[in-house]
Structure 1
Amino acid sequence: MNEIIHTLPQVLIDGLVLGAVYAIVALGYTMVYGILELINFAHGEIFMAGAFIGTAVLITFTGLGFLSSLPAILLLAIVLIIASVLTGFLGMGIERVAYRPLRKAPKLITLITAIGISFLLQDIVRFIAELKEGNYIITGPSLFAGQHQINTSSILSSFGNAQIKSASIIILVVAVVMMISLDYFINKTKWGTAMRAVAQDRETASLMSVNVNKVISLTFFLGSALGGATGVLFALQYNTIDPYIGFILGLKAFTAAVLGGIGNIRGAMVGGFLIGIIEMFAAANLSTITHGIFPSEYKDVFAFGILILVLIFKPEGLFGKPVAEKV
């Protein structure tokens, strides 16, 4: 128990950083489901594409000498904008080509299509990466690599001191800004009102002069842009990426969306942070708690175990509301 308490501050910091990534990716799942009742399993690969786009732009800027001539925060802002716009249009393109023709098809068909798009994006990115770099595992230039000491032992003597990377601080700040901005957009703007109207009743919204196709395209653009920007932040934190990073991370973000209440924006945010903290706690303490029977690699079991428990005991999620189906 003393060892668990000693590492708790570091676990919380690392969990919040990872949870911020899960939370923003979960927003893409929950926005699309709220409007189309579609689980867009290709969303994890859009996150991955954002990581590759951001890394490619940084590598290009390195070759042009921009890393030394531009402030790091300005360079990151430029990369985030480029990755967000490109992945936003990628999401819109996927919706237009793959999902819109199947809008009236059975849900199983669109689900299989989403899985197919996921594998297609993986292979396309792997082909391009191997063609350009000779390897699909890419290491980008380091930004914000500094470490900061947090004297948490002064709060409680049982706590150990924690460290946080400069990149982690950037991730938390940018993630919070994006989540607050999205929440404001959904709840306070005209387009946000249209999105909520389409989510509530698509047919009635169309009769009230709401352009449903534009609203759905905007939803995919926003969700994909946020996912792509998060991919850049992920690459900034871990510095090494591959075409398969979006698969497991996307499933965990989906778990976060289900935990918070699929279709609920604020629920997805809370669910992401909870999954991140729980996963980091398991990674740090699972071996200690089980006396070495289960090593830290079993941390993924926690996320998917939570998904199973939520689906069994509270399928509407923490912030969702049970809906009675009309017959």
Structure 2
Amino acid sequence: MNIHFVVNDFWELVVTGLTQGAIYALVALGYTLVYGVLKLINFAHSEVFMVGTFASWLTWTWLGLGVNSKVPPLIQVLGYVVIAMIVAAFASGATALVIERVAYRPLRRRNAPSLIFLITAIGASLVLFEAVGLIVHRQPRGMPVLVKPVVLFHFLDAAVTNLQLTIIISALAMMAALDFFINRTKWGRGVRAVAQDPQSAALMGVNRDRIIMLIFILGGILAGFASVLYCVKVGITTYDVGFNLGIAAFAAAVLGGIGNLRGALLGGLLLGVVENLGAGLFGNPWRNVVSFLVLVLVLLFRPNGLLGESLGRARV
């Protein structure tokens, strides 16, 4: 137990944890959207994120960037990242939509029990996992270094780099955009209506199938954005990259209150910080153990999570 290290580098660990937590939060929003409307845990969402990472890698490869490429100028970096986000968002959104149409919609039409949905979600996850593994021969793929970390300023003894600040601000901006969409647009009102009372929403002319398609696409797009931020931060991807990150994002959604968008944000940021502090205190192998222990303790006292509330009623 390294208490001295945690005390001395507490704020440094917090900033690093917030950076990772921002990525968790973006992925957790996909779990929350689907659960808020369908009361379904879409375990294939982790592989939707994984598809986004490989879409990013392919995009940068097609643009002539490799692992050993020099760090490009800032203007070019912005262009490379924006192009990768568009491609990754399209790839992940399309993957999520195919999962909904092929795996879940036939079950909904047959009024299948919840257990069948759960088994199907796990099956869809394994299909994507193994398919991509075969395509890439189970080998990791390195990313080009697009951003060279540079310390911009110090906050409470923590050195904040340009990369950390970019990831946190980008993630918060995407979450704010989703918040606006759900609360201030016609389609967003439809999502909240279906989440709150699908039967009444249908009587009012809301097309439930279109709303369900929309939430899967939105969740996929956010996972695609998160995958680009992850690739820029970590610099490598593998066919199983979605497993641990997907579990952490699901834990973040539950921690914040699954079904609540702001809960996913809070849960993701909090889980990232707790993981980092746990890794600093007990060592990196204990990272997931500490974070899930905190999750269990929170759920013992608040079973609905920190901000537990249905998507249809949440002031997101």
Matched, 1:222 2:211: no
Matched, 1:210 2:198: no
Tell me, in whole angstroms, the C-alpha distance in 1 between the residues paired with 2:295 and 2:100.
27
Aligned to 1:20: 22
Q: Structure 2: which amino acid aligns with 1:52?
A: F
Alpha-carbon offset, residue 2 of structure 1:
5.0
Tell me, in whole angstroms, the C-alpha distance in 2 between the residues paired with 1:249 and 1:215.
27
Q: Deviations over 1:264-319 (max 9, x none)?
A: 01111001000000000111122xxxxxxxx3311111222233233333211111
SS in 2 for 1:210: coil
Alpha-carbon offset, residue 63 of structure 1:
5.7
Alpha-carbon offset, residue 149 of structure 1:
5.6
SS in 1 for 2:151: strand
Aligned to 2:257: 261
Q: Structure 2: which amino acid aligns with 1:128?
A: I
Tell me, in whole angstroms, the C-alpha distance in 2 between the residues paired with 1:198 and 1:81.
28
Q: Structure 1: which amino acid aligns with 2:39?
A: E
Q: Deviations over 1:116-171 (max 9, x none)?
A: 111111111112222xxxx521101111123216445xx5xxx4xx4444332221
Out of 8, 33, 36, the position equivalent to 2:35 is 33
SS in 1 for 2:63: helix
- Counterpart contact for 1:99–1:110, Cα < 8 Å: yes
TM-score (normalised: structure 1): 0.87
Aligned to 1:281: 277
Matched, 1:113 2:117: no
Structure with greater Cα Rg: 1
Matched, 1:168 2:167: no
TM-score (normalised: structure 2): 0.90
Tell me, in whole angstroms, the C-alpha distance in 1 between the residues paired with 2:129 and 2:232.
20
Alpha-carbon offset, residue 31 of structure 1:
0.4
Out of 176, 184, 192, the position equivalent to 1:180 is 176
- Counterpart contact for 2:27–2:222, Cα < 8 Å: yes
Q: Deviations over 1:56-89 (max 9, x none)?
A: 1111112699985961112211110111022111
Out of 256, 270, 273, the position equivalent to 2:266 is 270
Matched, 1:320 2:316: no
Out of 4, 7, 10, the position equivalent to 1:5 is 7
Q: Structure 2: which amino acid aligns with 1:139?
A: G
Aligned to 1:289: none
SS in 1 for 2:307: coil
Out of 73, 76, 90, the position equivalent to 2:81 is 76
Q: Structure 2: which amino acid aligns with 1:296?
A: N
Q: State the superposition RMSD in angstroms.
A: 2.1
- Counterpart contact for 2:24–2:249, Cα < 8 Å: yes
Tell me, in whole angstroms, the C-alpha distance in 1 between the residues paired with 2:37 and 2:70.
41
Q: Provide the aligned length of Structure 1 versus Structure 2.
A: 303
Tell me, in whole angstroms, the C-alpha distance in 1 between the residues paired with 2:5 and 2:92.
43
SS in 1 for 2:112: coil
Tell me, in whole angstroms, the C-alpha distance in 2 between the residues paired with 1:79 and 1:57.
6
Tell me, in whole angstroms, the C-alpha distance in 1 between the residues paired with 2:186 and 2:216.
17
Could you say if the C-alpha distance between residues 151 and 208 of structure 1 is closer, same or farther in structure 2, counting changes exceeding 3 Å? closer
Could you say if the C-alpha distance between residues 205 and 227 of structure 1 is closer, same or farther in structure 2, counting changes exceeding 3 Å? same
1:32-181 alignment runs, 5 A limit: 32-62=34-64, 71-103=76-108, 104-130=111-137, 136-148=139-151, 150-152=153-155, 155=156, 159=157, 162-181=158-177
Aligned to 1:233: 229
Tell me, in whole angstroms, the C-alpha distance in 2 between the residues paired with 1:277 and 1:268.
14
Aligned to 1:304: 292
SS in 2 for 1:71: helix
Q: Deviations over 1:171-206 (max 9, x none)?
A: 112101100000000011100000000000111111
- Counterpart contact for 1:14–1:277, Cα < 8 Å: yes
Could you say if the C-alpha distance between residues 149 and 283 of structure 1 is closer, same or farther in structure 2, counting changes exceeding 3 Å? farther
> Structure 1: any 5+ residue segments left out of the alignment?
287-294, 323-327
Could you say if the C-alpha distance between residues 192 and 150 of structure 1 is closer, same or farther in structure 2, counting changes exceeding 3 Å? same
- Counterpart contact for 1:88–1:224, Cα < 8 Å: yes
User: Identity percentage over the alignment?
Assistant: 42
